[in-house]
């Protein structure tokens, strides 16, 4: 079995959070996953700052490996999740 692409990973997570099975409605959960991913094409300033901080060193923006980019993406998503879970007034 090949690894799932990101849309399918998100679709499975949405189905699980919905208390259902991905296999019950795969097209629906993939559609929801695509909708969830689209806003990430326009990252917030906090996400950009988090990515920069995660992938930079010695005060110089430099990403020399896939590992650096992976850290940057994780940091961006973590910043987004923190922002989402913070109460707004």
Predicted confidence (pLDDT) per residue in 33-82, tens digit: 989 988 887 778 887 777 777 766 655 556 666 677 777 777 777 776 66
pTM of the model: 0.62
Same domain, yes or no: 49 and 66: yes
Containing structural domain, residue 49: 43-85
Same domain, yes or no: 51 and 81: yes
| Helices 26-37, 6-17: crossing angle, 10 deg rounding | 110
Same domain, yes or no: 60 and 81: yes
Q: What is the rounded radius of gyration, in angstroms, for the C-alpha atoms of the chain? A: 16
35 in any annotated domain: yes
Count how many domains the chain has. Answer: 2
Three-class SS of 41-73:
HCCCHHHHHHHHHHHCECCECCCCCHHHHHHHH
Q: Which residues pair with 57 in a beta bridge?
A: 60
| Helices 66-85, 45-55: crossing angle, 10 deg rounding | 140
């Amino acid at each position: 079995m090949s690894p799932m692409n990101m849309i399918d990973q998100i679709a499975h997570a949405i189905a699980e959070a919905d208390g259902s099975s991905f296999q019950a409605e795969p097209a629906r959960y993939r559609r929801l996953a695509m909708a969830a991913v689209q806003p990430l094409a326009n990252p917030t300033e906090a996400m950009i700052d988090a990515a920069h901080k995660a992938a930079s060193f010695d005060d110089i923006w430099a990403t020399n490996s896939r590992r650096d980019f992976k850290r940057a993406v994780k940091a961006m998503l973590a910043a987004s999740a923190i922002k989402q879970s913070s109460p707004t007034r």
